[in-house]
Chain A
Amino acid sequence: MTAPGEKRGPRIAVCIKQVPKAQELQVDPVTKTLKRVGVPSEINPPDQNALETALALREKHGGEIVVLSMGPTSFDESLERAIAMGADRAYLISDRNLGGSDTVPTALTLTRAVEKVGDVDLVLCGEETTDASTGHVGPGIAGHMGIPQITYCSAVSLVDGRVRGVRMIEDGAETWEAPMPCVVTVDFGCNKPRQPTLTGKIRVKRGGLVTHWSAADLGLEPSQIGLKGSPTIVAKVDTVQLPSRQGKIFEEEPTIAVSLLLDALRKDKVIP
């Protein structure tokens, strides 16, 4: 933590996950699991907003941005992209024993990584991932570390050494303020993530900015992670039978299209 009066800016850890592009999500009809092979991936969209938040905070306050991710080595692509966007360095926690981790070991692993990086003032996560969509990993890290959390933020600032986050909740916008270190989860769409820059890409090319850690590097026992360390299991997966739709599309000019539509809806008795 930054001692009062000390000059260095905050050290921000941004947790990012690589996910298949949402539009490309396809369930394999046979295995009933997500088709991942051959599907283009991206940095989980809210994590891009978290990274952009970090970059904006660094512009204002100085400091350093460390990107953390847990997953297979194919995630390097996203870590490199994060560096090309402006992050200072990145760590991938990659280990066969981590396979099948639910949110408990995922949060634990990221917690250990934050601790190994050391002196982290602010941990930024996305509000949720597009593939698991639990939103539990960010609060899970805060829970493991016993530090404050501010979730669902659409704006994050640092005021007098405290974190201020505007939370978008159902009935309004709450502003929370917490001491650092603190976990903040960032809302999708709250800012416009910047593109990788040429200098960023050159830094990636020079190499050495993405480090791999194993579970053992973080002092994690095999029993704490992966399937063994996960309280939950996916017992089975059903395919959803959605009602079949007529799919009647009217391409006529508006007066006719509207009249055809209203007739159809009246016939279906959904409008009087």
Chain B
Amino acid sequence: MEAHKGVWVFLEARNGALRDVSVQLIGEARRIADKRGTDLTGILPGWKVEPLARHAIECGCDRVILVEDARLEFYTSRPYTKVLATLRWRHNPEVILFGASKNGRDLGGRLHAAIDTGLAADCVRFDVTEEGFLDMIRPAFGGKSLAHIHCEKHRPQMASARWNVFPMPRRDPARSGEVVRETVPLEDADFDTKIVDFKPTESRETRKIDDARVLVSGGFGLGDPKNFVLLDELATLLGGAVSSSRKPVDLGWVPKALQVGQTGKTVRPDLYIAVGISGAVQHLAGMQESAKIVAVNSDPKAAIFEIADYGIVGDLFQVLPEMIRQLKAFRAQAQAAPPPEAAPPGRRDGA
């Protein structure tokens, strides 16, 4: 076990950029590598991805191993697993971390069986134990508790990390690191799985949900994709963004990237307004750490009320337009009447 050294993070390239979840993970992996007194290596398979290696170094990697092959341009399971497995046997890392994107989970799940080691899914925190093991901390039982997973006898210790739980590391253009090109023997037989079609989700602004301070989130209660305009309007008034529970995503009403929850994103805005969302445990798993939670639901028994700071029991088609109306009215009033500070001195009380 002594021979196993170094922390690795799998760098997922998509559309000429590193996935946010990979970048977020670099920051956390850096912290773990420092705690272990070892270095941090990014593993970057792909095609024409060298500029991304630089990005990873500026965010905290000491080294990036680049495996370039035109056939690796798009992620498929078998060749990517082969790349990671080959590098694992070549270099004996002690830790490999993955972002828990769909592809990251697909890869980790296949790899851990292929190289016979443990894999903790969807971690939200990492630490190093006194014995030097990686403490992999993940929500369990619908987020009601946190389990500490250890992998003592197998190497590498592997885990995936949830999207949006680690902050984006600051990019430091002065940081230096090395880019190492390596080859992995890939055969045509490794590419037996083909991507025959890709339909990007429509162009709704999806990235905003990651850092919005206010989220207006819609559920099945919206009844129709058209009704999301109500949420758009409310979100705009509050300077926030729109997100969704899973049902509208499954029904194709809104893009997957807007989904909050166990199989979607984790969000922690200052204000989360859940509209027509029942509050299933899988939904709560993604939003229960929001600073303030408001629920609008016609069913007084809906579970979402149990974790809400404020709730309105009522029909969203009455409540939302009313909220929009009152917010606009308040704003119009605030603009018409000059704020007290602006009033000329000596005339405060109309004197």
Residue in B15, B199, B309 whose Cβ sees the most chain A Cβ within 10 Å: B309
Is residue A71 within 8 Å, beta carbon to beta carbon, of the partner chain?
A: no
Residues of chain B with a CB closer than 8 A to A178's CB: 192-194
Is residue B312 within 8 Å, beta carbon to beta carbon, of the partner chain?
A: yes
Are B288's CB and A134's CB within 8 A? no
Are B308's CB and A247's CB within 8 A? yes
How many of B's residues come within 8 Å of A, CB to CB? 97
Residue interface bits B98-138, CB-to-A below 8 A is 1, else 0: 00011101111111111011111110000001000001000
Is residue B180 within 8 Å, beta carbon to beta carbon, of the partner chain?
A: no
Is residue A107 within 8 Å, beta carbon to beta carbon, of the partner chain?
A: yes
Is residue B184 within 8 Å, beta carbon to beta carbon, of the partner chain?
A: no
Known: A136-B112, A261-B310. A169 touches B77 (CB 8 A): no
Are B256's CB and A237's CB within 8 A? no
Are A247's CB and B116's CB within 8 A? no
Known: A148-B192, A234-B147, A265-B271. A258 touches B119 (CB 8 A): no
Known: A140-B113, A143-B109. A245 touches B309 (CB 8 A): yes
Chain A nearest CB, measured from B327 CB (Å): 7
Residue interface bits A221-259, CB-to-B below 8 A is 1, else 0: 000000000111111111110110111111101110111
Are B145's CB and A142's CB within 8 A? no
Is residue B211 within 8 Å, beta carbon to beta carbon, of the partner chain?
A: no
Residues of chain B with a CB closer than 8 A to A243's CB: 289, 291
Is residue A171 within 8 Å, beta carbon to beta carbon, of the partner chain?
A: yes
Given the complex of chains A and B, what is the CA–CA distance between A237 and B152 in angstroms? Answer: 17
Residues of A in contact with B, size category: 35 or more
Interface SS, B side? mixed
Q: Which residue of A lies closest to B137 (CB)?
A: A238
Residue in B121, B140, B196, B305 whose Cβ sees the most chain A Cβ within 10 Å: B140
Known: A142-B110, A177-B194. A234 touches B149 (CB 8 A): yes
Are B201's CB and A171's CB within 8 A? yes
Contact of B148 among A26, A237, A246, A270 (CB under 8 A): A237
Q: Which residue of A lies closest to B270 (CB)?
A: A270
Q: Which of B192-212 contact A (CB under 8 A)?
A: 192-201, 206
Are A247's CB and B246's CB within 8 A? no
Are A232's CB and B193's CB within 8 A? no
Chain A nearest CB, measured from B158 CB (Å): 9
Known: A164-B196, A258-B319. A169 touches B81 (CB 8 A): no
Are B102's CB and A143's CB within 8 A? no
Given the complex of chains A and B, what is the CA–CA distance between A235 and B138 in angstroms? Answer: 12
Are A270's CB and B292's CB within 8 A? yes
Are A231's CB and B117's CB within 8 A? yes
Known: A22-B142, A170-B101. A175 touches B110 (CB 8 A): no
Residues of chain B with a CB closer than 8 A to A137's CB: 109
Are A169's CB and B263's CB within 8 A? no
Are B149's CB and A235's CB within 8 A? yes
Is residue B54 within 8 Å, beta carbon to beta carbon, of the partner chain?
A: no
Is residue A40 within 8 Å, beta carbon to beta carbon, of the partner chain?
A: no
Are B250's CB and A190's CB within 8 A? yes
Are B197's CB and A175's CB within 8 A? yes
Chain B nearest CB, measured from A155 CB (Å): 11
Are A27's CB and B144's CB within 8 A? yes
Q: Which residue of A lies closest to B114 (CB)?
A: A143
Are A261's CB and B197's CB within 8 A? no
Chain B nearest CB, measured from A229 CB (Å): 10
Contact of B102 among A108, A169, A239, A246 (CB under 8 A): A169
Residues of chain A with a CB closer than 8 A to B169's CB: none
Contact of A231 among B121, B153, B193 (CB under 8 A): B153
Residues of chain B with a CB closer than 8 A to A102's CB: 118
Residues of chain B with a CB closer than 8 A to A265's CB: 271, 292, 294, 310
Are B150's CB and A189's CB within 8 A? no
Are B113's CB and A143's CB within 8 A? yes
Residues of chain B with a CB closer than 8 A to A81's CB: none
Contact of B311 among A104, A142, A143, A248 (CB under 8 A): A248
Is residue B76 within 8 Å, beta carbon to beta carbon, of the partner chain?
A: yes
Known: A140-B113, A143-B112, A149-B106. A173 touches B141 (CB 8 A): no
Are A173's CB and B198's CB within 8 A? yes
Is residue A114 within 8 Å, beta carbon to beta carbon, of the partner chain?
A: no
Q: Which residue of A lies closest to B321 (CB)?
A: A254
Residues of chain B with a CB closer than 8 A to A1's CB: none
Are B194's CB and A176's CB within 8 A? yes
Given the complex of chains A and B, what is the CA–CA distance between A142 and B307 in angstroms? Answer: 40
Q: Which of A101-153 contact B (CB under 8 A)?
A: 102-104, 107-108, 127-128, 130-131, 133-144, 146, 148-152
Given the complex of chains A and B, what is the CA–CA distance between A165 and B201 in angstroms? Answer: 17
Are B112's CB and A140's CB within 8 A? yes
A-B residue pairs, 7 tightest by C-beta: A139-B109, A231-B118, A143-B113, A232-B118, A175-B197, A136-B109, A134-B121
**Other A-B pairs beyond A23-B303, A130-B282, 20, CB < 8 Å:** A25-B281, A26-B144, A103-B119, A130-B142, A136-B121, A139-B105, A139-B107, A141-B113, A167-B102, A178-B194, A187-B250, A188-B250, A190-B250, A230-B118, A231-B116, A232-B150, A237-B148, A258-B312, A268-B309, A270-B270
Q: Which residues of A contact B (CB under 8 A)?
A: 22-23, 25-27, 32, 34, 102-104, 107-108, 127-128, 130-131, 133-144, 146, 148-152, 154, 164, 167-179, 187-190, 230-240, 242-243, 245-251, 253-255, 257-259, 261-262, 264-265, 268, 270-271
